[in-house]
């Protein structure tokens, strides 16, 4: 079953604007991770938030986690054209493997 489900499926913004992507999952988790995938390339790990954390920052990235709602959000501030990519959330339960959602395609126009 799909653990992570991203929303929206696609997002188009201008450079300098903020981009927010949401992720919902179904069961209890140990942590939730966000990955980025540029066209035609592998995934790159962006940030991990544990189940006992509510918010985490890394550079222009801010991730929140609400375990009561089984949801997470990824905020990219001051977006750049280079942020154009697909973004995936991945839920991890115990020592099990990651389960990825379908992703959000982000387009940042100059």
Partner 1 sequence: EAGVAQSPRYKIIEKRQSVAFWCNPISGHATLYWYQQILGQGPKLLIQFQNNGVVDDSQLPKDRFSAERLKGVDSTLKIQPAKLEDSAVYLCASSRLRDGETQYFGPGTRLLVL
Give dist(CA 29, CA 31) in Å, integer: 6
Interface positions with partner 1 (CB under 8 A): 4, 31, 33, 35, 40-45, 48, 88, 90, 92, 95-103
Closer to partner 1 by Cβ: residue 95 or 110? 95
Q: Classify the phi-psi angles of 83: left when phi > 0, otherwise alpha if psi is within -120 to 50, otherwise beta.
A: alpha
- Give the shortest CB-30-to-partner 1 separation in angstroms: 9
Closer to partner 1 by Cβ: residue 47 or 75? 47
Give dist(CA 32, CA 91) in Å, integer: 5
């Amino acid at each position: 079953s799909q653990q992570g489900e991203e929303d929206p499926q696609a997002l188009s913004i201008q450079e300098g604007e903020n981009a927010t992507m949401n992720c919902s999952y179904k069961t209890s988790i140990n942590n939730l991770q966000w990955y980025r995938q540029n066209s035609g390339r592998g995934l790159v790990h962006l940030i991990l938030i544990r189940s006992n954390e509510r918010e985490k920052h890394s550079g222009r990235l801010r991730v929140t986690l609400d375990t009561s709602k089984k949801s997470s959000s990824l905020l990219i501030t001051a977006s750049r054209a280079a942020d154009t990519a697909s973004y995936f959330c991945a839920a991890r339960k115990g020592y099990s493997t990651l389960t990825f959602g379908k992703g959000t395609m982000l387009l940042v126009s100059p």
